[in-house]
Amino acid sequence: MSLVKYIKGLLKVNTALIEQDYSADPIVKLLGVDANGGVNSGLVSTLIPTGVFGISDGNGKYTYYATLTLAMAAAVSGDTIEMFADVEETGSVTITLKNEVTINGNGHTYTLSVDDATNAFTVPNSTRCKVKNLNVLRTGRAIGETGYCFYSNFDISVVEFSSVYCDNDYGTGVVVRCTIKGLNVRAYGNALTGTVSSTMYNCFAESYGTGSGITNPTGNCYDCTGISISVTAITCNGVVSNCIGRSTSGSGIVSNFGYNSVGISTSGAGLGGGAFKNSIGISTSNYGASSSQLDNCHVKSSSGVGYYTFFAGSCILRNSVIESTSNVALTGRLGTIQNCTIKSGWANAGGHAIGGTVGATFCYIQNNVLQVSDASAYCLTASGGTTSAIANNTFIGSTTPVNTANVTQTITNTSDSQGNILI
């Protein structure tokens, strides 16, 4: 390569200045110019060190490393390891993150392609660190095998992610026991799995195969989105807050406690599990919600039941809207239903607003709006004998609002002069 071409490439300019003859320059002589103007490239590479990974000393001077393993070994607390090119590892290489050490991928992709259970990154105990601007691909195995993009088995570590995108094309994407923030994961299997006491903030997790978006059996999820095409989008036995779960065939969200969240499903329930507040459940053909409690929620199904409960006599529904377009709006083993709007849009004699099942031995049904679209449907009925305290409800659209053959009113007292009544 000629010296002129080398300098042009290095400076990325094309000026008359560098067309001059530099053969007598002492720097050029140091580089070693042959008779044709060629440069000693080996000497140049020595004078201008290069590497895929680098750590700056704070003054803009970098120390370069050929592998991320070497860079991580050299890094100390407060350092940032930068990545300057895409990298593919084909051996059993795991990068162990360090406390207060940041990885900045600069938008590049780190690929681990090996046919064993090696994890690309692990998080040790008592570690707080950051990873940003990085794509992580775990590949090279058969469908269903193990080996993750990130793995943690310690619950007191915290990893903050920023513009980090993980993909595992054969199995689970990420498995963590710690606290994670801001991670994006796609995987063929479960995208993001929490083990013991894991907490997830502002994460996006999508399974494009057989798994769930987020599975967090004993932890909590905040401001997260989970997507699945085959099972439940978000399963979390702790708290789900400000989350979105969307599934094609499983439930949108299943949780013990859900707040300000949205669950959407095509053939599963929108919301399922325990108590939900200020949440929305939508299903095309299944339940809008199937849970123990709704407060200030809106649940709806197009062709399925709006709300169904399996909890005999213990469900609590308050200040909520429950709808079905072409089925019974609310059914199951009922409990307390207060201040709700319950509507069936099914123009059919079976399109009841409330249709309780056997097992609902006693119910409180008060201060609700119960609406049907067919005059022969009941606003309140049951498939077996049910005793209920029914008061201050508004019935719309029904010729016979209450099916007294199956629903027995238990209130026998009358209001006093101030409108109070003993139920």
- Which residues lie across from 317 on neighbouring strands? 294, 337
* Cβ–Cβ under 8 Å, residues 313 and 334: yes
- Which residues lie across from 394 on neighbouring strands? 369
What is the predicted pLDDT for the residue at 5? 47
> What is the rounded (10 degree) CA torsion for 407, 413, 415, 420?
-90
Residue whose entry in the numeric block shows the structure tokens 């993909």:
167
Q: Of 217, 271, 218, which Cα lies nearest the Cα of 243?
A: 271
Question: Which stretches of 24-66 are DSSP H helices?
Answer: 26-31, 41-47
- Give domain limits for the chain: 3-46, 294-423
What is the predicted pLDDT for the residue at 17? 42
**Token pair of 381, please?**
């009925």
What is the predicted pLDDT for the residue at 14? 45
Instruction: Kindly give the pairing relationship between strand 244-247 and strand 225-228.
Output: parallel
What is the predicted pLDDT for the residue at 104? 98
Q: Of 366, 284, 386, which Cα lies nearest the Cα of 325?
A: 284
Query: In angstroms, rounded to a whole number, what is the distance separating the alpha carbons of residues 400 and 187?
Result: 53
Residue 339 gets the label, from left (phi > 0), alpha (psi -120 to 50) or beta, of left
Residue whose entry in the numeric block shows the structure tokens 């062709």:
303
What is the predicted pLDDT for the residue at 43? 46
What is the predicted pLDDT for the residue at 401? 96
What is the predicted pLDDT for the residue at 37? 52
What is the predicted pLDDT for the residue at 363? 84
Q: Of 88, 143, 152, 75, which Cα lies nearest the Cα of 119?
A: 152
The model's pLDDT over 336-395, given as tens digits with 9 standing for 90+, comes to: 999 999 999 999 999 999 987 655 557 899 999 999 999 999 999 987 777 888 999 999
DSSP label at residue 100: T
The model's pLDDT over 312-331, given as tens digits with 9 standing for 90+, comes to: 557 899 999 999 999 999 99
CA distances from residue 100 to 68, 75, 119, 335 in whole angstroms, order as listed: 16, 10, 21, 52
pTM beyond 0.75, yes or no: yes
Query: In angstroms, rounded to a whole number, what is the distance separating the alpha carbons of residues 345 and 27?
Result: 86
What is the predicted pLDDT for the residue at 160? 98
What is the predicted pLDDT for the residue at 388? 85
Query: Can you say how many angstroms the Cα of residue 396 is from the centroid of all Cα atoms in its chain?
Result: 40
In the chain, which residues have pLDDT < 70?
A: 1-49, 311-313, 357-361, 417-419, 421, 423
What is the predicted pLDDT for the residue at 278? 98
